[in-house]
Amino acid sequence: MRAFPAPSMRRVVIVVPSLFTLFNLFFGIWAIVLASRGEFYRAGWYIFFAGILDTLDGRVARLSKTGTRFGAELDSLVDVVSFGVAPAFLIYQLEFASGGQVEWIFCYFYVMAAAIRLARFNITQAGRAKRSFIGLPSPAAGMTLATFYPFTTTALYQQVFRVLPRHHLMQFLMIGLTILMVSNVRYATMPRAGVRTLRGLLGLATILFILTFGILEHDAFFFPLGVAYMAYGVLRATVLGFFFEASEDEEAEIAGPIVIANGEREAGTYTKPRGIAPRGGPR
């Protein structure tokens, strides 16, 4: 009797990052369902959990050296749902459904920008070591929108921000996120923690700060953190004078028309990234 072949351990390890990605999708879809039922608090935090899983699948793929082109493409498709469609639908149900008949257009442009952001990431930055992201990462944008409603339930919001025109502020926030995702503004990646260098110690302190306040004051902490991250990129770009400028290397990497010839892709300005593109956390 012929025995079944033993499963390859490497093949099992390769599947693990994709499982994180699929659970990311699960939370994104669940958030949409909850938002349709009016459970905005839970919906927001499930989008946030999807963001954590998006970070983990990239870390697992890099640590295990099992990044694949399939995994990178799957991750981008899932991110469009979890950090594009899900937060846009949440904000529509929360803020724009009771507005005018064209209020949904804010959500459309946000999802469009998230899709463009992810497509550009796959072309220009996927599979490369990077110290910064070009444009606001879509998970950061989605998690900022997702944590808005939990923030409105806090005493800080009730005492300080309640007097502000909430509806118009959300319109401006959606416009700002849309523009920043497709801009050339650079955003720092998650700092690397360590104890041997000053940069590593600062990274460790930053991570501990986020974890501490994120656990103790999560409702009041993460939305202001997201807004601060948005503002950081704009202020940094303004001070350095690079808000609307891209370096020659970046301009060369932005894809032009792609032509299929003899089964190979050719493009006048497209440079194919070297190696296998791993999924890489925020995009």
Q: What is the pLDDT of residues 58-110, one digit of tens each?
A: 677 666 665 677 777 888 899 999 999 999 999 999 999 887 788 899 999 99
pLDDT value for 194: 75
Note whether residue 276 is domain-resident: no
Examine residue 227 and state whether it is found in any structural domain, yes or no: yes
Residue 274 domain-assigned (yes or no): no
**168 part of a folded domain:** yes
Position 275 in a domain: no
Is this model's pTM higher than 0.85 or not?
A: no
> Does residue 106 lie within any of the structural domains?
yes
Spatial contact of 61 and 67, defined as CB atoms under 8 Å apart: yes
Of the candidates 96, 131, 243, 241, the one whose C-alpha atom is nearest the C-alpha of residue 180 is: 243
Tell me the pLDDT tens digit for each residue of 262-283. Answer: 444 444 444 444 444 445 556 6
First-to-last C-alpha distance (Å) of the chain: 50
pLDDT tier at 177, thresholds 50, 70, 90: very high
Domain extent at residue 80: 9-267
Confirm if 125 and 272 have CB atoms less than 8 A apart: no
The winner for highest mean pLDDT among 60-69, 99-108, 154-163, 166-175 is 166-175
**182-197 burial, b for 16+ CB within 10 Å, e for fewer?**
bbbbbbeeeeeeeeee
- H or E stretch at 187: strand 186-188
Number of domains present in the structure of the chain = 1
Instruction: Reply yes or no on whether the pLDDT at 180 is more than 90.
Output: yes
281 in any annotated domain: no
> Distance between alpha carbon 80 and the CA centroid of its chain, in Å?
9
